[in-house]
Amino acid sequence: MLHIVLYQPEIPPNTGNIIRLAANTESTLHLIKPLGFSLDEKQVRRAGLDYFEVNRVKIHDSWEAFLQVAPKGRIFALSTKGTTPYTSAKFARDDMILFGPETRGLPQDIRESLPTEQVLRVPMRRDSRSLNLSNTVAIVLYEALRQLDFAFEE
């Protein structure tokens, strides 16, 4: 199983969409506080629809708390500052795919704690700031699932 990790997400509909994505792909979603919203907010529930109750969402009080219980896989971080295309990564079961907050991205110290080849980038125009978080999660997660032959399918 793959793990989606959202570091301090800020926008409820993005997280709701990602909850639904996790439920449909048998991925676990990790949310690292502080969150920019309450999980009870109507927007999160609406975007997550009936998948909200799926027991695939784990909440962690901090980055350090997450690292203490993190799965055994590698961490791949997505950043506009990354130099490795996401398609160059060789994903494995239990890998974690880490995404930063919508307005500021991952902190430099987290990016620099990972090997350069594990800080990935989704190609886009040079003058673009970033892609939508839930779109980026879907792009990278489905590449990882493709490499794993969509193991969740029956």
Say if residues 78 and 136 touch (Cβ distance below 8 Å).
Answer: yes
Report the C-alpha gap between 3 and 141 in whole angstroms: 9
Taking alpha carbons only, the member of 43, 68, 46, 53 closest to residue 22 is 53
| 71-to-67, 82, 113, 126 alpha-carbon distances in Å | 9, 23, 17, 34
Report the C-alpha gap between 19 and 114 in whole angstroms: 26
- Sorted by where each begins, the domain ranges of the chain are 3-147
CATH 3.40.1280.10 correct for 3-147: yes
* pTM of the complete model: 0.92
pLDDT digits (tens, 9 = 90+) for 108-125: 999 999 999 999 999 998
Residue 31's pLDDT is what? 96
Residues of the chain scoring pLDDT < 50: none
Tokens of 32: 């690292």
Report the C-alpha gap between 137 and 31 in whole angstroms: 13
Residue 96's pLDDT is what? 98
